[in-house]
Structure 1
């Protein structure tokens, strides 16, 4: 990714607009978990909005609670996932690795900014609460949705693992825990739903979307045609057809996640009828 891509990605990850009710979780339940430090990013006595990683964590907590993981165990898990990396300065290591990585796509100017941030304890104090292995998994899922991403938890050992970048971890865990129960919670559906919520918002243009993506969003989500077909000019992927019965913002969120539209792409809009559009992405 280049600097512009990093900026757009940061906008998507950090934007806080998701409420617990969007995930069908009651305020009473959220308050219960807040009191037990299971949701460490929520301020006490405040009903704050969440960004995507926080919403995914709330979803994971609900899934684990629904199958019988106790609040004591969830508190221990939250400590390991959120507080331990902060204390160990995991974020500092990630930033240093990105500065040193010649293949990161960062410009020299961006590297200089990150280097200066490392010296600022106030900025790093915030980043250490936002960057950890869990949020890295969420970011990876957004970038590579075709690969499996899940949080894995062992009720017996109380240990957790993050599945990303291929199935190798599952193979190792199956060997190590062949006679024990492992809980695997996929996260892509929650990410898709979270992005869909923002796509449906009243904000005209979303900063993390490209101009082409904002145009597609305008047609699919707000013009509300009965049928929209989205295709690439070279047919390297199967055309996506979005119909009236679909939850349009979730469908278009899934399309954006799974298809990286190249810079310089043009959009050909073919209005076949008032309620029927064909959108062709011209990449040549």
Structure 2
């Protein structure tokens, strides 16, 4: 991954285009959360129609999920403050940038490091980054780049503690920091990320730069040519073919396919139009 990858990735992650109605939220619910400061600071700014970027939208989905199982408004307010405001006040973003600058590993080029140093010295820019970079948004980035690993938030409603977990060596250590004397709620992230991508996929005129040319070809056929049945398969048969029909919510199925199946670089797409508006799409990986 080079510097350009991180630039494009960041632009797509923080573009504000998702509306509460896209997530099935009623305006009355959003207004209530605003009034009671359940929604973090990103909804306190002057945004047109309350548009959200990907981290904000997924956080709203998490709040709704917790609210639906009975977590009180006051607890949701405290949780949001701890997830968004506390890292901002503690300048978590500054620590992340310093880690990249000081790293001995080639995470960023020397030119990139110089650019990061300039960013770190610009207080106006840093104030924005402190609102965008925290442990929660780091979890989302990890989820996107490491789909095969489970990513989730663990929350204790009785103590109002939380942590973000990735299935790696520090998993048990992080879990151990929470109090096991109380019930814990585990909230998986991948399904929510898939929902957001499905919203993206269904916007016909939106150029999705985070998709490869091949993935955009598949998207065009599945969603906009409106076939009755599409079968997507790999040439070597190592993955079970995905069949998408008229009965499916096609953008949801396609988002799930893209997230769970890594298409090798250099792969080609064999398009086989069949009768009755059916397609077979074969990914040639050899």
2:114 alignment partner in structure 1: 112
Q: Distance in 1 between matches of 2:83 and 2:178?
A: 22
Which structure 2 segments of 5+ residues have no match? Answer: none
Higher mean C-alpha deviation, range 124-133 or range 144-153: 144-153
Deviation at 1:280, TM superposition (A): 2.1
Q: Equivalent residues in 2 for 1:59-74 (5 A)?
A: 59-74=61-76
Structure 2 residue matching 1:17: 3-state secondary structure: coil
1:261 partner SS: coil
Alignment partner, residue 82 of structure 2 = 80
| 78-87 or 44-53, which deviates more | 44-53
Structure with more relative contact order (C-alpha pairs < 8 Å, separation 6 or more): 1
- After TM superposition, the structure 1 = structure 2 runs for residues 19-98 of structure 1, keeping only pairs within 5 Å, are 19-39=19-39, 40-43=41-44, 47-98=49-100
Alignment check: 8 A CA contact 1:11 1:208 kept: no
Structure 2 CA distance for aligned equivalents of residues 193 and 215 of structure 1: 20
C-alpha displacement at 1:172, in angstroms?
6.3
Distance 1:172 1:133 in 2: 13
Aligned to 2:145: 143
What is aligned with 1:279? Answer: 281
Deviations 1:56-99 (A, max 9, x none): 11111112222222222222111111011011111121122234
Question: SS at 2:269's partner residue?
Answer: strand
SS in 2 for 1:59: helix
Q: 1:270 & 1:104 partners in 2: Cα distance? A: 43
Aligned equivalent of 2:220: 218
Q: Note closer, same or farther for the CA distance 1:102–1:203 as it changes in structure 2 (3 Å cut).
A: farther
The answer as to whether partners of 2:94 and 2:120 remain within 8 angstroms in 1 is yes
Number of residues of Structure 1 aligned to a counterpart in Structure 2: 284
Mapped contact 1:8–1:209 kept (Cα < 8 A): no
Q: Which residue of 2 aligns with 1:256?
A: 258
Secondary structure of the corresponding residue to residue 79 of structure 2: helix
The 8 Å contact of residues 198 and 255 in structure 2, kept in 1 or not, is answered as yes
Q: How many Å separate the matches in 2 of 1:97 and 1:267?
A: 40
Task: Give CA-to-partner distance per residue, 1:153-177, whole Å, 9 cap, x none.
Answer: 1122211111213496368647964
TM-score (norm 2): 0.89
Distance 1:216 1:153, change over 3 A: same
Equivalent-residue separation in structure 2 for 1:104 and 1:230 (angstroms): 37
SS at 2:37 equivalent? coil
Counterpart Cα distance in 2 of 1:65 and 1:123: 34
- Aligned partner of 2:16 in structure 1 is 16
8 Å CA contact retained: 1:34, 1:44: no
Are the structure 2 counterparts of residues 246 and 101 from structure 1 closer, same or farther at C-alpha, using a change threshold of 3 Å?
farther
List alignment gaps of at least 5 residues for structure 1: none
Alpha-carbon distance, 1:187 to partner: 2.1
Residues 58 and 99 of structure 1: is their aligned pair in 2 closer, same or farther, counting only changes over 3 Å?
same
Distance 1:151 1:176 in 2: 12
Q: How does 1:179-218 map to 2 (within 5 A)?
A: 179-218=181-220
Counterparts in 2 of 1:276 and 1:135: CA distance versus 1, 3 Å: same
Summarize the Cα distance change of 1:44–1:142 in structure 2 as closer, same or farther, 3 Å threshold: same
Cα distance in 2 for residues equivalent to 1:174 and 1:241: 42
Q: Is the 8 A contact 1:148 1:166 kept in 2?
A: no
